[in-house]
A and B are shown apart, each in its own frame.
Chain A
Amino acid sequence: MASFIQLLVSGLATGAIYALIAVGFTLLWQTSQTINFAQGEFVMLPAFFVLAAMNAGAPFWLAALIGVALSIVILGILFKFIIVDPMFKYGVLPLVISTIALSLFLKEGVKDFYSSQAQSFPALVPASDIHVFGAVVSTQSLAVLAVAIVTVIVLHLLLTKTRTGRQMQATAQNPLLARILGIPVQRMVLYTFLLNAVLVAIASILVSPIYLAKFTNGETLGMAAFIAAIIGGFNQVRGAVLGGVILGVLDNLSAAYISSQYRGAFPLIILIAVILFRPQGLLGRIEERTV
């Protein structure tokens, strides 16, 4: 039983990370129909901003802030204006291709201009272990869980309780109508990008102490984000959170109890099943099609 709890707790911690990444991914999709195939690399990159800042001499807390700031500028503003906006008139496919190329670009960029080797990354909280119900959890994992929960709550409050947040939601549900109602749609879309940039920066700082900063981190994290977002529900933030948690726990349980060689297969099978039988995801709303 203790091992089951161990797996559950570890899975929740990993799932919390997936959730954070999936939420940003979902937000982008909702408001601007952007399927960001580079989302994984977006999570990989800010850690390197932080490391570079630390190499230049900044203390960790300052470097972290610099990392978040750079993330907002590059992964939020630049990404929107240089890559997404010009593609808009061409439809979804060119944008998808662009983000695929972008993910390759970022990955190779870090490998060539920083390092191909994994780098250790300072932790937010000093690493020590806590024993909970017979399982061992690191304080780092708990910190990740805590930050993730707080972030989601703050996001939820932002989106529902503030005027800007509600405007963002309106933009997501029906951009044309929102524009008619006087909502500055372009600005709302920009806010989404900035929000995603902040989320991925936070996720990056949380995850890198455990995963170690490496240019290939984006591959698995990105895949996990897509799966989590789809399983949970592409058009609901809560869905992304649920999807992330399910994915984290499922991965662990299947690896331990079913097969380690096929551990990667189970999330994929669930993904296919969800898409085929409940495409809106577990918590999502059915999207209408415009003719």
Chain B
Amino acid sequence: MTRFPALALVMAAAVAIAAPFFLKPFGIFLISTWAVLTIAAIGLNLTLGYAGQISLAQGAFVGMGAYTVALLTPLGVPFFGAFFAAGLLCFAIGWVLGYPALRVQHHYLAFVTLAFTTLVFLVLRNEEWLTNGIYGITGTPRPTLFGLKASSARDFYFLCLGVLALLSLAIWWMLRSPWGRAFVALRENPIRALSLGLDTRRYTLMAFAIGSSLGGLSGALYAPLVQFIEPNSFALGLSLNLLLMVIVGGSGNFFGPFVGALVAVLLPEWLRLTQGYYLIVYAAAIMVMMAFCPSGLLGLAERAGRALAGPRAVKKTSMPTEGAGP
């Protein structure tokens, strides 16, 4: 695991809990978006950062999760039923997609997932009888949990935060298990892992499927958050955005997705000074970052931390966090 002062974690959690009390509805909407996207980014981080597979399909899984909830809840299915259904569905589809696709090398998987995302978009758009097509679905209701309504901005934020916290804990636990260590072995050297007797394909497949199901769960929260979903929101753009989040935060780093999602959500706001040019600035910033610290913001922080700490900083369980190689 990455070395991480417990104090920093507690502080961050405190900020996350206190924040909505100081923000207007728009601000609360932003941090709710952050929480929801972080879930998807964690999933992609699992696939990319830990298992070393380039996936451009995460956006499609978010979309499938969102549509599952948006279609089931009006039929009377309770929200958490639809939520789990979304996760299960995406796990299954991830498994089926991954099974043949993971036989090929990394850069080919990128193209397969790219093609898959576009195909999913086409189906969502053309099958109007199912998805209401290009018109999208409006007004997905926000859930009621144990009798408490979560429809106000602040309440819904806490719901998203809660789900994020639970899922993060689950993934943390999973990664600390022997199972999780196998993932990292895969990334570092698949051939060697194979020679050590690891069924690499099974582990990679699991990583991809779990990552995809997290995408679905993220989508399940996205639908009641934005309350309008249409096929265009889940096309290639979202997959690329999530990819950038994971990379910018620090791929392979447990907290990378949190930071990456924060940057992605807040950056447009900070760059609003640059008027319509903010996309150019964003793109340029990414390119510069890739040239100087491809291990992302947390990688940069780690390097700085290690440099400051000096030679005595040799931690017990230190995982290298340099960007995944081919």
Contacts and interface: CB of A to CB of B under 8 A. Distances in A.
Contacts of A226: 111, 114
B326 A93 contact: yes
Contact of A291 (B103, B191, B277, B286): B191
Contact of B107 (A92, A109, A112): A92
A135 B2 CA distance: 65
Nearest to A279: B104
A97 interface: yes
Contacts of B282: 104
A101 B277 CA distance: 14
A1 B243 CA distance: 47
A148 B322 CA distance: 42
Given A272-B116, A275-B111, A291-B191, A97 B290 contact: yes
Given A83-B287, A91-B326, A262-B126, A268 B280 contact: no
Contacts of A132: none
A200 to B, nearest CB: 19
Say whether chain A's binding surface is mostly helix, strand, loop, or mixed: helix
Contact of B287 (A101, A275, A287): A101
B119 interface: yes
B39 interface: no
A112 B100 contact: no
Contacts of A126: none
Contact of B286 (A35, A97, A272, A276): A97
B115 A98 contact: no
Interface in A30-85: 33, 35, 83
Contact of A97 (B103, B114, B243, B284): B243
A105 B280 contact: yes
Contacts of A96: 54, 107, 110
A268 B107 contact: no
A94 B294 contact: yes
A92 B243 contact: no
Interface bin, chain A: 35 or more
B279 interface: yes
Interface in A161-212: none
A104 B324 contact: no
Given A87-B290, A101-B290, A112-B277, A93 B283 contact: no
Contacts of B108: 230, 275, 279
Say whether chain B's binding surface is mostly helix, strand, loop, or mixed: helix
B273 interface: no
B286 A98 contact: yes
A5 B100 CA distance: 37
Contacts of A87: 290-291, 294
A279 B102 CA distance: 12
Contacts of A279: 104-105, 108
Nearest to A35: B107
A154 interface: no
Interface in B71-112: 100-101, 103-108, 110-112
A262 B114 CA distance: 16
Interface string A218-233: 0000000011001000
A128 interface: no
Contacts of B116: 272
Given A230-B111, A275-B111, A90 B323 contact: yes
Given A94-B323, A98-B290, A112-B276, A104 B122 contact: no
Interface of B: 54, 100-101, 103-108, 110-112, 114-116, 118-119, 122, 125-126, 191, 240, 243-244, 247, 251, 276-277, 279-280, 282-284, 286-287, 290-291, 294, 322-326
25 contacts: A83-B291, A87-B291, A91-B324, A92-B326, A93-B294, A93-B323, A93-B326, A94-B290, A94-B323, A97-B243, A97-B247, A98-B286, A100-B244, A101-B286, A112-B276, A230-B111, A261-B125, A262-B122, A265-B118, A265-B119, A269-B115, A271-B115, A275-B112, A276-B101, A287-B105
Minimum-distance CB pairs A-B, first 5: A105-B283, A94-B294, A101-B286, A91-B325, A268-B115
